[in-house]
Amino acid sequence: MGGLPAGPVERHEHEPLPWEKKVDAILRLLVGKGVMTLDELRRGIEELGPGAYDELSYFERWISSIANVLLEKGVVTPRELGEAMERVRARRAAAEALR
């Protein structure tokens, strides 16, 4: 993280999961529309702190940073973000119930 010593980087290729593709698309749209920059994404990732940084996956770091930047800029409110997260949880629970 931020130039600190770390272990080896895992370089295995995998097919991105659908949610990872969505996170990438969200970032591309936000950057393309000038809502946020890649520098803000990087800053947001570095601000996660060592605990969260180490525990989150690559795209989990991205979406956490994106959410924090959008909250910081007032693009979304905490309430809107919470409600959106609840809708996602409900969809996931419904999909898992069908399995």
Q: Which fold has domain 18-98?
A: Cyclin A; domain 1 (1.10.472)
Q: What gap in Å lies between CA 61 and CA 55, rounded to an integer? A: 9
Q: Looking at this protein, which amino acid is placed at residue 99?
A: R
What's the predicted TM-score (pTM) here?
Answer: 0.82
Q: Give me the mean pLDDT over the 74-96 stretch.
A: 96
Is the distance from CB of 67 to CB of 92 less than 8 angstroms? no
What's the longest Cα–Cα distance across the chain?
45
What does the DSSP 8-state code read for residue 17? P
Domain boundaries, the chain: 18-98
**Does residue 78 register a pLDDT over 70?**
yes
pLDDT tens, 5-53? Answer: 666 767 778 899 999 999 999 999 999 999 999 999 999 999 998 889 8
